[in-house]
Each structure stands twice: as C-alpha cells, then as structure tokens.
A = this chain, B = another copy of it.
Amino acid sequence: MMIALKTYLDDHKSAIDAALIGYLRQYSLTDRMLRPLEYAISAGGKRVRPILCISACIAVGGQARKAMPLACALEMIHTYSLIHDDLPALDNDDLRRGKPTCHIQFNEATAILAGDALLTMAFEVIAEAASDAPDPEAKLWLQILRSVSEAAGCRGMIEGQARDLGFEGIKLNRNDLESMHRLKTGALINASVHTGALIGMGSDQQIERLNDYAANIGLAFQVVDDILNVTGDASILGKAVGTDQSRQKNTYPALLGLEQSELYAAELIDRALLALEIFDKKADPLRAIARYILYRNR
C-alpha cells in the first residue's frame, strides 16, 4: 500500500472510530446496550463505507467534517448487518475479524437487539445531523435518508441477504450471482459514495460518475472477497478460509475459476478508475482505494 494512502486511511479511520463511540455513548441510556454496541462497533473493521463516503464528499469539493455523521450512520448499518448475518439462524459464524461474534461474546438475544439498535441509531444520527443543518439543506438530507434507507432495505441489502440464503446449495449463473451481490453488498457501497457526493454538493455529472465508480468497486470488492476465501491466510483475514466451498456457496472462483476471477476483479477496477477521469486530484483517495481493493490482505 502506498504510504500516502495508508496515512489517509489511518487518519480517517481514527476520526471515524472516535465519532462512532461518541454516538454510541450519546444514544445509549445505559451500559446494558452500550457494552454490546461498543464491542460490535470496535471489532476492527476497515471502515470501508464511511471512508468511501467521506472520500466522495472530498472528491466533489466538500469538507470531510460535513460527511462524518452520515459516514458513521453507514458504518452502523454495515455493523448491524454483520451482527445479524453471524447469528446461528443465518450464517452461524463464531468468529468475525478474529474475535468472537456478538452472540458468542454476549448472547443471541443481545445480538439481535444490538443489531436492531445500530440500524435504528443510523437513522437517529441522520435525523440529528439533518436537524442541525441549515434550513436550505433539509431537502438534501431527505434525499440522503431516502438513498440510505433504500440501500439497506428490501430493494437493497435485505433482498440480497435473503437471496444469498435461498441460493445456498443451488448453482447460480453469473447474472443471478451478480445481481445478488449488487444488492447484498453493492447497494450500501453505492449509497456510501452517492450520499457522500450529495452532502459534498456534487454536480449531477459528478454524482453520475461516482455512482459508476461505486458500482464497479462494490462488485470488485465481492469478487476479491471470494478469491481470498480460497487463497487467503486465515490469520491475516481474521476469519476462516475455505468456508465458501464447504458450504457450497456461490462464488466467483466456483463459477469462473480463480484466474478468470482475478482478471474480472482487475477489469472492474479499471472501469472504476475510468469513471473518475473527470475528477482532479481531490479524487486521488478514491483512486487509491480502488487499487487497494485489488491488493488487500495479500
């Protein structure tokens, strides 16, 4: 990883981590919910979605500070989805990023509530930031609310998760696999970039290009994830490898083979970089993130 990107990611990650903990403490009445929420949110995520949100805001000329509440809301939604996905009735995972998952560390009831709490809190954070914004920005925040809620809902992440569950053991074609991923992980990544550009007051053309960028890196992210489940090192990834194959999960390596999957990931990243052509150097972090997706954890 380039030193400049590493510093950029580390700095933003620290700021996001601090802001997230601040929100949890502000919105939790007692330790009862605060402890599992802090545990889940501090589990060492890379903060991909909030960093994309802030970077998209910067790319269109906005200030990182303005995107921070939104960035935190997106990470809360992502974290809630992981907590619920890990539950015994869903993926039944005991480990996440090398640590016991929420229902193992606490219990199932707490994990279900903690997920519900984070999803709800995301909208509390958006509501608060929107209420504090100057009046003319109220409409903009409603657009953001719409984009985020749609991405997280039945026309986005939840439908993707439901398809993923329903597809286990069924062999998919490439189209079905792709549309599942566009919903399950792509929708929230798209919303992160899209709403970051909205809060940064990007032009229609900028927003269109950034949507294109997001769609390509979102899919690339998933393809690389599938590849790492085959070739990765469990101690670096912080989760078990080889699990997709044993669960007969539909993956790109299973469908295309490993080599074609790697070529496809590279092609998606090329398309993402092409979409950024109209931007100046303020989009360099987005460019670096796109390249980093290809080479992470190797």
- List chain A positions with a Cβ less than 8 A from chain B: 27-30, 32-34, 37, 80, 84, 87, 89-90, 107-110, 112-113, 115-117, 119-121, 123-124, 126-128, 130-131, 135, 138-139, 141-143, 145-146, 149-150, 152-155, 158-159, 161-163, 165-166, 183
Check if B116 sits within 8 Å of A166, measured CB to CB.
Answer: no
Can you list 18 A-B pairs, Cβ within 8 angstroms, ordered by A?
Answer: A29-B154, A29-B155, A33-B154, A33-B162, A34-B154, A109-B165, A113-B165, A116-B158, A119-B120, A123-B123, A124-B146, A124-B150, A130-B142, A131-B139, A135-B139, A138-B139, A138-B142, A142-B142
Chain B residues with CB below 8 A from A166, complex form: 32
Q: How many copies does the complex hold?
A: 2
Residues of B with C-beta under 8 A to A183: 29
Given A29-B155, A89-B107, A154-B28: A143 touches B124 (CB 8 Å cut-off): no
**Across the interface, do A27 and B120 meet the contact criterion of CB distance under 8 Å?**
no
Report yes or no: A89 in contact with B109, Cβ–Cβ below 8 A: yes
- Chain B residue, CB-CB nearest to A147: B127
Q: Report whether A113 and B146 are in contact in the complex, using a CB–CB cutoff of 8 Å.
A: no
Q: Please, which residue of chain B has its CB at the minimum distance from the CB of A130?
A: B142
Partner of A127, one of B131, B142, B162: B142
Contacts of A152 in B (CB 8 A): 120
Out of B32, B128, B153, which one reaches A162, CB within 8 Å?
B32
Q: A121-B153, A138-B139, A153-B124 are in contact. Are A84 and B116 (CB under 8 A)?
A: yes
Complex contacts, A27 vs chain B, CB 8 Å? 153-155
Rounded to whole angstroms, the CA-CA distance of A109 and B153 in the bound complex is: 16
